[in-house]
Chains A and B, each alone.
Chain A
Amino acid sequence: MTDKFISIEGIAKRYPGAGGATTTIFENLWLSMARGEFACVIGHSGCGKTTVLNILAGLDAPSEGAVIVDGQAISGTSLDRAVIFQSHALLPWRTVLGNVGYAVSSKWRSWDRAKVRAHAQTFIDLVGLTGSEHKRPSELSGGMKQRVGIARALSITPKMMLMDEPFSALDALTRGTLQDEVRRICLETGQTAFMITHDVDEAIYLADKIFLMTNGPGAVLAEVVENPLPRDRGRTDLHRHPLYYALRNHIVDFLVTRSKTFAAETPGHDPRHVPVVQIGKPGLTIAAASDEPRQTWMPGSNPGLSA
């Protein structure tokens, strides 16, 4: 891949454990994303997904390694990287408009009240909350709260969005609608997005690239699965696509069995060159253009090539 908009280079996270020992959550993790790409990370709890996201956001610092975004190593948080929190994290003493406005006025400090308000309103309208501007978070349903969280993240027009299981606390119907919204907004605005999820179908619907992580501690990025489904896929007919089940089975198999045994079965795994798995026949593969030969047909039985 030539365009590395985001490049995570050999990061590690260790915590001091009991009796002077250190617990390694993960180490030597390499990962890259192109501009405008939507990536999902899937893995079991405790594999360090959230830590990776917090490091990307700048909320947490890696014990080793660096993260490069848009050609610059990051240090700390930035208005370029907006975070959508799992628990929505709205300020309960502010209204919807107040919460979005807080983000807007943090980015553009010199704007007057009217300008902040107008800008915030645009994004409230975008997530379909017109008419609820003056409600407080306690008066909103879970789905509406998360919409405010999305509006707040988008309102600062970030270079990328980081989402930590944003829909996991919502009911299935609301989750579906919000997935549609996020997908629409990301496609329309060409937003680069990095999302953590537990939900295989959510990853298949939203992501261009799915990162599979093995179980922690000592988790590694095992594979990068490229989504073979067409870009104009819809949530309702997703499962009718001929490659849907192959893709889904591959991910589920990984989560159920291979995530535990990966390290033992793949001794030669090179964390710098994680195999890219493309599901589907070469002719059918809808993958990012690359001049390198790729591993094709069905689950990654041997390491593919990627840079």
Chain B
Amino acid sequence: MTSSLRVRAGLVSIVLLAAFLGIWHLATRSTGATTTMSPEYAKLMGLTATQGKSAMPGPLDVGAKLWEHVRRPFYDNGPNDKGLGIQLGYSIARVGIGYLLAVLVAIPLGFLIGMSPLLSKALDPFIQVLKPISPLAWMPLALYTIKDSSVSAIFVIFICSIWPMLLNTVFGVASVRKEWINVARTLEVGTIRRAFTVILPAAAPTILTGMRISIGIAWLVIVAAEMLVGGTGIGYFVWNEWNNLSITNVIIAILLIGVVGMLLDQILARFTRMVTFPE
């Protein structure tokens, strides 16, 4: 029953994809010779003018270009012409570093706040004000103080991924069941051991959910951040190709951003499953 459902859902997905590609192809294909002009002039004007070809690339153009990128992902022909693998690598590295720094700060801090009602109340106004600030709003301040565009991008990732993790850790730690804490208390388990053997495993699913939200936001923000700081990364690639008017490359970049984002989310989802316990 479930397997047949999966098969049918897969079929519908394929049909939808085929329909989308088909409509895309039809909408952007050449309509044949539109005007007569001298061959030299036609060459100058390009297919858009002579064949009625849309300026938007079709799926076949994108596919061909994608195949080129896949065959040579790591070439480096100078600052404005690097392989997609290199550009994605830069972006993933920035997200990775900023995100890990945020984990190192948010989880211990979340533990402290979650375990202390005083800290929780005292820090709440700061968190409430800092949380809704768009991470890109920090960019000028980061550039001014850090004076390095690449590190500023990492800082922006750090600041945007810290809040969901922090808030989820606080919530997870503060809402550990009283009876589990009481078990540890009656067994005279010390504070540190209690934090690691009771509170951490009990709060882990909530913490991991926060981490999963964070990685999604970090991946959203890196594209925008790299458009601003420039130099390297998939965000810069998108902007650079827009300046080159290579819509094909922009579409490919959009597709890859989606795929990488999905993979990052799936990795965190797997970790979440590992720490989730049935009640």
Which residues in A have some Cβ–Cβ distance to B below 8 Å?
57-59, 77-79, 81-83, 85, 87, 89, 91-93, 102-103, 106-107, 136-138, 156
Closest residue of chain A to B177 (Cβ to Cβ) is A89
Q: Which residue of B lies closest to A103 (CB)?
A: B187
Query: Which residues of A have CB within 8 Å of B189?
Result: 106
B187 touches A92 (CB 8 A): no
Q: Which of B247-279 contact A (CB under 8 A)?
A: 275, 277-279
The complex places the Cα of A106 from the Cα of B197 at a distance, in Å, of 11
Least CB distance, B40 to chain A, in whole angstroms: 76
Q: Is the CB of A59 within 8 A of B182?
A: yes
The residue in chain B whose Cβ has the minimal distance to the Cβ of A80 is: B188
CA distance A82 to B187 in the complex (A): 8
Known: A89-B183, A138-B279. 11 other contacts (CB 8 A): A83-B182, A85-B179, A87-B179, A89-B177, A91-B180, A91-B183, A92-B277, A92-B278, A102-B187, A102-B197, A137-B279
Residues of B within 8 A of A59 (CB): 182, 185-186
Chain A residues with CB under 8 Å of B185's CB are 58-59, 77
Nearest Cβ on chain B to A74's Cβ, whole angstroms: 12
Q: Is the CB of B188 within 8 A of A89?
A: no
Across the interface, which residues of B come within 8 angstroms of A156, CB to CB?
Answer: 187
- CB pair B182–A106 under 8 Å, yes or no, is no
Cα distance A59–B181 when bound, in Å? 10
Task: Select B179's contact among A82, A89, A107, A136, beta carbons within 8 Å.
Answer: A89
Whole-angstrom distance between the alpha carbons of A288 and B188 in the complex? 34
Which residues of the other chain, A, contact B139 by a CB distance below 8 angstroms?
A: none
The DSSP consensus for interface residues of chain B is: helix
Give B163-187 as 1s and 0s: 1 = Cβ < 8 Å from A's Cβ atoms: 0000000000000010110110111
Across the interface, do A77 and B186 meet the contact criterion of CB distance under 8 Å?
A: yes
B179 to chain A, nearest CB (A): 4
Number of A-B contacts (CB under 8 A): 55
Beta-carbon contacts under 8 Å, B183-241 to A:
183, 185-189, 197-198, 201-202
The reply to whether B201 and A136 contact each other, CB–CB distance below 8 Å, is no
Residues of A within 8 Å of B183, CB to CB, are 83, 85, 89, 91
Chain B residues with Cβ below 8 Å from A92 are 277-279
Q: Which of A77, A79, A87, A137 has the most CB of B within 10 A?
A: A77
Our pick among A58, A79, A89, A106 for the contact of B180 (Cβ within 8 Å) is: A89
By the criterion CB–CB under 8 Å, are A106 and B187 in contact?
Answer: yes
Bound complex: CA A89 to CA B198 (Å): 12
Q: Which residues of B contact A82 (CB under 8 A)?
A: 186
User: Closest Cβ of chain B: how far from A282's Cβ, in Å?
Assistant: 42
What is the number of residues of chain B that contact chain A, defined by CB distance less than 8 Å?
18
B188–A79 touching, CB < 8 Å: yes
Bound: A269/B188 CA distance, A: 38
Q: In the complex, which of the residues B186, B188, B278 contacts A138, with contact meaning CB atoms closer than 8 Å?
A: B278
Roughly how many angstroms separate A89 CA and B201 CA in the complex, as a whole number? 15
CB pair B186 A58 closer than 8 Å? yes
A93 to chain B: closest residue by CB? B277
Q: How far is the CB of B262 from chain A (nearest CB, A)?
A: 28
- The CA of A78 and the CA of B137, in the complex, are separated in Å by 53
Interface pair A81/B186, CB less than 8 Å apart: yes
Q: How far is the CB of B193 from chain A (nearest CB, A)?
A: 8
Question: CB within 8 A of B186: which of A57, A87, A91, A93?
Answer: A57
Query: How far in angstroms is the closest Cβ of chain A from B68?
Result: 49
Expressed in whole angstroms, the minimum distance between the Cβ of B257 and any Cβ of chain A is 36
- Can you list 21 A-B pairs with a CB-CB distance of less than 8 A? A59-B186, A78-B186, A78-B188, A83-B182, A83-B183, A85-B182, A85-B183, A89-B177, A89-B180, A89-B182, A89-B183, A91-B180, A91-B183, A93-B202, A93-B275, A102-B197, A106-B188, A107-B187, A137-B279, A138-B278, A138-B279
Alpha-carbon gap, A136 to B202, bound state (A): 15
Q: In whole angstroms, how far apart are the Cα atoms of A107 and B186 in the complex?
A: 11
Closest 6 pairs (CB-CB, A-B): A89-B179, A138-B278, A106-B187, A93-B277, A92-B277, A93-B201
Q: What residues of chain B lie closer than 8 Å to A83, measured between beta carbons?
A: 182-183, 186
Distance (whole angstroms) from the CB of A138 to the closest CB of chain B: 4
Bound-state CA distance A57–B179 (Å) is 13
Q: Could you tell me the distance between the alpha carbons of A93 and B200 in the complex, rounded to whole angstroms?
A: 11
Interface centre among A87, A102, A107, A156 (most CB of B within 10 A): A102
CB distance from A134 to the nearest CB of B (A): 15
Residues of B within 8 A of A81 (CB): 186
* Chain B: CB-nearest residue to A59: B182
Known: A79-B188, A106-B187, A156-B187. A91 touches B182 (CB 8 A): no
A136 touching B278 by the CB < 8 A rule? yes
Q: Is the CB of B188 within 8 A of A77?
A: yes
* Residues from chain B with Cβ under 8 Å of A85 in the complex: 179, 182-183
* Chain A positions within 8 Å of B188 at CB level: 77-79, 106
In angstroms, Cα B264 to Cα A95, docked, is 31
Nearest CB to that of A149 among chain B residues?
A: B183
User: Could you tell me the distance between the alpha carbons of A136 and B278 in the complex, rounded to whole angstroms?
Assistant: 9
In the assembled complex, how far is the CB of residue B98 from the closest CB belonging to chain A, in whole angstroms? 30
A136 touches B277 (CB 8 A): yes
Most buried by A among B182, B183, B186, B187: B186
Q: Which residue of B lies closest to A99 (CB)?
A: B183
Closest residue to A60 on the B side, CB-wise? B182
Least CB separation from B184: chain A residue: A106
**Nearest-Cβ distance from residue A111 to partner chain B, whole angstroms:** 14
Tell me, rounded to whole Å, the shortest Cβ–Cβ distance linking B207 to chain A: 13
